[in-house]
Structure 1
Amino acid sequence: MITGLDHVQLAAPPGSEPALRGFYGGVLGLREAPKPPSLAGRGGCWFEAGEAQLHLGIDPDFHPARKAHPALRVSGLGAYARRLAAHGIQVTWDDGLPDHDRFYAYDPIGNRLEFLERRSGG
């Protein structure tokens, strides 16, 4: 029986770890999680917020995920969108999900990310 979702992994090109740390840790405010020593030599980096983890793994044949994406729950979505915009990140609002406010943005290597918040009373 499945009891939950442990993590989502996105691909990243070799050498992109500084940009990923700046974006996911600095701009998004996620906490970097240490990789186990047995996996650290593979490169990439892991981030977390609460129980949710996002892993960025190095792929020498990297192609950004332009459709597939993780969806990150946010408290105070409007303020969070302004935070990203202040860092030069373009946000694209979408009203297609009932009872939610949401927008999309791209990380510095071109992976798509969704940010959403359930509306009050929804």
Structure 2
Amino acid sequence: MISALQHVNLTVGHQGWEGQDPLELADKFYGDILGLKVDPVPDTMVGKLRWFRIGDTSQQIHISLEPVPDTLVLRPQTRGHPCFVLPYTTLTALRTKLAEFASSGHPGACSAPSLEGAGFVAGREGEEVDGAKKGDRFFVRDFVGNRLEFAGI
């Protein structure tokens, strides 16, 4: 029986980065901006992927280069996505941080936070803290176009 989710793999194309290393862009966004810790990858995979640990768990987000060198860089605008949960009391601060990064001009910048699709989720509840309640959520697309959801619990 399935007992947990160990990782989700999101891919990045090889081309179109104008001298930027897409794995270094992943370090900036997933590591520096989202605060995920980098875990070591096997020696045979160095330069091909990054592993980012979620909190103090063994769960990870993997960012890997597509195996075909001429793969397109950007993802189609699909609805598939992982959902990250965090205390709702910190949701507004993360949304603000992501909005600032989105407008920074950095090549690894994400899209501006959006409520795209948020109407299909359970309602808000509890005390409002810094403009957020339990159940609030928002979405961004990373520098490749992968859709990410952030939900307050």
Stretches of 4+ aligned residues off by more than 4 angstroms:
none
Give ranges in structure 2 of 5+ residues lacking alignment: 15-20, 103-110, 124-134
Report the equivalent of 1:92.
114
Cα distance in structure 2, aligned partners of 1:44 and 1:7? 13
Q: Does 1:72 align with 2:84?
A: yes
Residue correspondence of structure 1 range 38-53 to structure 2 within 5 A: 38-40=44-46, 43-49=48-54, 50-51=56-57, 52-53=59-60
Q: TM-score, normalised by structure 1?
A: 0.85
Report the equivalent of 2:130.
none
Cα deviation for residue 95 of structure 1 reads 3.6
Counterpart of 1:102, as a letter, is: R
Report the equivalent of 2:142.
107
Residue correspondence of structure 1 range 21-32 to structure 2 within 5 A: 21-32=27-38
Cα deviation for residue 80 of structure 1 reads 1.0
Counterpart of 2:6, as a letter, is: D
Which has more strand, going by share of residues? 1
SS state at 2:120 partner:
coil
Aligned-pair identity in percent equals: 30
SS state at 1:86 partner:
helix
Residues 33-69 of structure 1 deviation map (CA, whole Å, 9 limit, x = unaligned): 110223325x121101222200011113245263211
Cα distance in structure 1, aligned partners of 2:45 and 2:100? 34
Give ranges in structure 1 of 5+ residues lacking alignment: none
**C-alpha contact 1:95 1:102 (8 A) present in aligned 2:** no
Cα distance in structure 1, aligned partners of 2:100 and 2:64? 27
